[in-house]
Amino acid sequence: MSDPARTLAPSRKSLLWLSLALLAVLTLVAIISRPLTPLDETRYVGVAWEMWLRGDFLVPYKNGAPYDHKPPLMMWLFQLGWALTGGVNEWWPRLVSPLASAVSLFLTWGLARRLWPERPGMAGPAVLMLLGGMLWMIFSTMAMFDILMALCTLIGLHGIVIAADGQARRGFAVLGLAIGLGVLAKGPVILLQVLPAALLAPWWSRGLRWGRWLGGIVLAILLGAAIALAWAIPAGYAGGEEYRNAIFWGQTANRMVESFAHRRPIWWYLPLLPLMLFPWFLWTGLWRALVPYLRQRLDRGGRLCLAWSLPVLLAFSFISGKQPHYLLPIFPAFALLTARALDDVEQARGLWLPALLVFVLGGVMIAPDKLGIHLDEATVLAWPGVALMVAAVAIYVTGRRSAKPLVPLALLGVALASAIQLSVLRPQYDSYDMHPVALAVKQVQDGGNKVGHMGFYHNQYQFAGRLEQPLVQLEGLEAVRSWVAANPHDYVVLYTRDMHHLDGVPAVKAQRYRGGSATLMTTAAAQAFLARPQVVDELKW
């Protein structure tokens, strides 16, 4: 009779391939369910488009001006894909994060093998647990920086472990490379992600010579800084003094000061953990395995995972500028730690609670109106809810006898993430698709006209319309009115709280947009619209 504790060992590689297959499914569902979404995705792809258009690969540009809020690595990857695939397209930017997620799965697999070479059967479960976490699934399909930052963090952790295993030069070189890439991906925050594990190495890897180890960390930081400066110095001179000051100072000290402004409480992440780590957080068998491991059997790899994750969680809890995805780079630590704990036990049941919750959520999707849930004039599709309920029952029935229901739980998570997108986001597709107004803006700009934009411009039309000219940003109602009056033969984009507010208004193009409407109209039409006494209540800033 086979040992239930080792039932996953023969299929450890199949769990890696299953994880990659589930990632492909999630990517396909995301592409079907939503376009490149404002405000973040359209902004970053728009920046890459402007760099491509200008032939400038040093300085990111947003709406015709240097863009100092993010370094260029993600935009470089967008442009690299365009160069390799024959030109600018929309599908390649949507694959960068999934590909970074896939590489992260391989690196998590490799890190498990490095930390626990005597336990090869736990690498597959670690990879599946990483891919199956709800927050990881969501951001693996978004054109944002956080999965790329997690990838850089994993490279850095490989370097730290290599150095701790006796190959100091190689290990610290890899760590330095990770720091440099991390700075180019999202800035100096990469230091917060990798340095705790490096500085606490004498605790999790006994026998290291502290002085020599600390010297290696310093050299890795210097190597990372050299990699980042190889871009930042020429980019700073090319972008001008204001841009230079922003990337050398504004992205570090100023942001840190703003981040400690106490806008969110210290405990803000705690109630989000069940959602971010669904379904694993609700798996009772996991906690029954994890608690004894942490109390009695914590080994070198487990200590590394704690040194990697807890200081980062604590630091981001104190920093008030919190977002859930800031924690993504420590998700591999959770996956590795829990996979190691599960490797010690024969059984870890508890499928019923996540399955029940998924079943209930499927019912909510069928009849959201009865719970008072309404979505921007769009109807929630019922069939994904029905499919989710059927899937929850089928997964529970087939997986309830599993000694360790890792695959059923991962399937539950993927089914839930997919159903939410198909049920909720797909009906909202037109509200986030920038093409209608963007193409209209392109047409009038090509005719030699200027286009004003009401309020702060997030670059949402630049890529969708392949715009070659910036929009004129108009802050405040009086600024809009003045510009419209001074440019009687041009155009302006206005936003209203409701499409019905545009009744009787001649528009070049109007579309639903994020709960209201976005409208391109002539300045003559806009002048009449803005003269209405109720316009202050109708506009949406």
Cis peptide before 279 (omega within 30 of 0): yes
Structure confidence by residue, pLDDT tens digits, 115-169: 999 998 899 999 999 999 999 999 999 999 999 999 999 999 999 999 999 999 9
Q: Is 503 helix (H, G, I), strand (E, B) or coil?
A: coil
Indicate the DSSP class of residue 252.
I
CA 461 vs. chain centroid, Å, equals 21
Beta-bridge partner residues of 44: none
Query: What is d(CA 400, CA 398) in angstroms, rounded to the nearest whole number?
Result: 6
Structural contact between residues 324 and 272, judged by C-beta atoms closer than 8 angstroms: yes
Note the pLDDT of residue 262.
Answer: 44
Expressed in percent and rounded to 5, the helix, strand and coil fractions of the chain are 65, 5, 25
- Within 8 A by CB and 6+ apart from 80, the residues are none
The first and second tokens of residue 350, run together, are: 């508890």
This model's pTM is above 0.85: yes
Question: What is residue 6's predicted lDDT score, i.e. its pLDDT?
Answer: 40
- Both tokens assigned to 386: 């029905």
Mind listing the pLDDT tens digit for each residue in 82-103? 999 989 999 999 999 999 999 9
Identity of the amino acid at 338: T
**Ranges of the chain with pLDDT below 70:** 1-12, 250-262, 368-378
Angle in degrees, 0-180, between the axes of helices 406-420 and 383-399, rounded to the nearest 10: 180
What SS3 class is residue 496?
strand
Question: What distance in Å separates the CA atoms of residue 530 and residue 484, rounded to the nearest whole number?
Answer: 9
β-strands 61-62, 65-66 pairing? antiparallel
The confidence score (pLDDT) of residue 258 equals 46
Predicted pLDDT at 535:
85
DSSP string, 338-385: HHHHHTT-S-----HHHHHHHHHHHHHHH-GGGGT--BTTBPPPSHHH
**For position 370, what pLDDT does the model report?**
60
Distance CA(537)–CA(516), nearest Å, equals 12
* Largest Cα–Cα separation, the chain: 85
Per-residue model confidence (pLDDT) at position 284: 93
Q: Cα–chain-centroid distance for residue 228?
A: 22
Give the N- to C-terminal CA distance of the chain in Å, as an integer: 67
Three-state DSSP at 374 gives coil
